Amino acid sequence: MAEDAKTLIDRAVRSFLDEVPALKPLTLVVGIDLHGRGDTQQFRLQMPEVEVTKDIGADARIRIEMRREFFNAMVEHGARVPDWREAFIHGQAKATGVDQYMRLIVNVVERQEERNRTRKARH
């Protein structure tokens, strides 16, 4: 049986922040909408302390939407940053919100991926 959504969101965020440590101090509220069969579960993620609550997240600066089954599969299979990038590029996940935050996150993630590639190339 699948874990509850709050636990999965917490696990996904902590895993993502471990891969992109530059985002750990970012103060941000994110609204997460998980669409299931006929309903939508809404969660509020507050960073940097990674606090997940079942709430509409009216004060969210970024809103992320995706299918619940897809999210469960991604987290349970240990999705990494490139997997999440593919999900957003191909439309399985969608992010909207304040443009400055969106650009900041994209830039930080791209720089981290570039650092990871150069580390591998040197060894």
Over residues 22-49, the pLDDT tens digits come to: 999 999 999 999 999 989 999 999 999 9
Containing structural domain, residue 27: 5-122
From residue 88, give the alpha-carbon distance in Å to each of 6, 65, 101: 21, 10, 16
Please say if the pLDDT value at position 20 is more than 60. Answer: yes
- Can you give the pTM of this predicted structure? 0.90
* Helices of type H across the chain: 5-19, 68-76, 81-89, 99-122
| CATH number, domain with residue 49 | 3.30.1050.10
Who wins on pLDDT, 119 or 63?
63
State the total domains in the chain. Answer: 1
C-alpha radius of gyration, the chain, whole number: 14
